[in-house]
Amino acid sequence: MKTDNINHEFLDGVLDGSHPDVYYHFGVSNEDSLLEPLRDVRAVIMAGSGGRIKEFADHWSELNGGAEIVAFPKDDRFVTRYTAGVLFASHGMGMPSASIALQELMRMVFFLKGGDEEAMADVFWARVGTSGGVGLPGGTVVVTSEGVMADLKPYRLIQGGSGTYWFDSTFPADVYNAIIAASDHTDFDVVSGKTVAGNEFFLEQFRLDGAIRLETDESKMEWLKWLHDNGVRNIEMEGAMMAGYLNHWGFPKFAMICCTLLNRLEGDQVTASPEQLHKFSEDSGVVLFNYLKSTLLD
């Protein structure tokens, strides 16, 4: 872990009881007894939708002999479940929403592990989601090697004091390679590649089917081909920020696993049937659970 980058000014006072930490968007604080069982947390799994979180937690509980599921009472922002060493939390859509979830979850993990850097470094983080494929058909699962923004540069934010703050938004290679290896007998392809995180589903993903259109057929295809030539295999909306924040604290184990819903070289609209979409989304869950089983089940 990179101890200098952890916000000790605020977080050390939580550990010594000087002040509480309120994880406002999750509706809990470090003083809630609900968090007590979560001290054993070994993985934090995030997904965009709350429904997905409930399904994941039910499945992980079943795989662990019907382990008890702790449900956080507040669910109007994020849906959260804990069972058998895994905290499952939704993050909504886009980096502004997901950054709120991730910052509060990082603080929660800091508290749950008593600030012990070795214990924190053992925690595995993942986002499981959907994406648009770049040169890949719908139904492929992409395990991200590097998160970039729409200009192929790493994640960054505008910071008052220091201008632009750049993050390292790469993903650890040992982890994405192990995830792919744990899913080597699936009936769908699992590949690694760079992933663009767009700040918009339409405009920053160069779609032509939004209410607002800023691109032409030519400029869209030029962008998509440029991405493809530079190793990008899919486009979504959160990964670059997630990798940036987790690297900032020095977490060594994290990943992003996304199914593709369409090939963006062939179109913009998501026209797959509900059955196909269900299968695509199940498949990214299969890849996650193959890895969790290989690492967390005794």
249, amino acid identity: W
User: Residue written as tokens 């060493």?
Assistant: 85
**Cβ-closest residue to ligand URA?**
132
Q: Least distance to ligand URA from the beta carbon of 126, Å?
A: 17
Task: Return the range that interacts with ligand R2B (CB under 6 A); candidates 3-11, 107-115, 129-137, 145-153.
Answer: 129-137
Does position 21 interact with ligand R2B (CB under 6 A)? The reply is no
Question: Count of CB atoms within 10 A of residue 157's CB?
Answer: 12
Tell me which stretch binds ligand R2B (CB under 6 A): 104-112, 128-136, 144-152, 155-163: 128-136
**236 near ligand R2B (CB under 6 A):** yes
Which option in ligand R2B, ligand URA, none does residue 238 bind, with CB closer than 5 to 8 A by kind?
ligand R2B
What torsion do the CA atoms of 275, 280, 284, 290 make, to the nearest 10 degrees? 70
From residue 196 to residue 215, the character string flagging contacts with ligand R2B as x (rule: CB under 6 A) and all else as - is -----x--------------
* CA angle in degrees (0–180, nearest 5) for 252-184-149: 45
Residues interacting with ligand URA, by CB under 6 A?
130-132, 201, 205, 235-237, 261
Q: How far is CA 298 from CA 57, 124, 294, in A?
A: 18, 16, 9
Phi, psi dihedral angles at 6 (to 5 degrees): -80, 140
How many CB atoms lie under 10 A from the CB of residue 14? 18
CA atoms of 51 and 39, how far apart (whole Å): 25
Cβ distance to ligand R2B smaller for residue 108 or 237: 237
CA distance 270 to 233: 17
By C-beta, is 80 or 195 nearer to ligand R2B? 195
Q: CA 136, CA 152: separation in Å to the nearest integer?
A: 19
Instruction: Give the interface segment with ligand R2B, choosing from 31-39, 127-135, 271-279, 290-298 (CB under 6 A).
Output: 127-135
Task: Kindly tell me which of 116 and 222 has the beta carbon lying closer to ligand URA.
Answer: 222
Q: Which is nearer to ligand URA, 57 or 136 (CB)?
A: 136
Q: Please, what is the minimum distance in Å from the beta carbon of residue 5 to ligand URA?
A: 28
- Site mask, ligand R2B, residues 238-257, x = CB under 6 A? x-------------------
User: Does 50 engage in binding with ligand R2B (CB under 6 A)?
Assistant: no
Tokens representing residue 289 in the block? 């659970």
> What residues have CB less than 8 Å from 22, skipping those under 6 apart?
29
Q: Which residues of this protein are in contact with ligand R2B, per CB under 6 A? A: 48, 93, 129-131, 201, 236-238
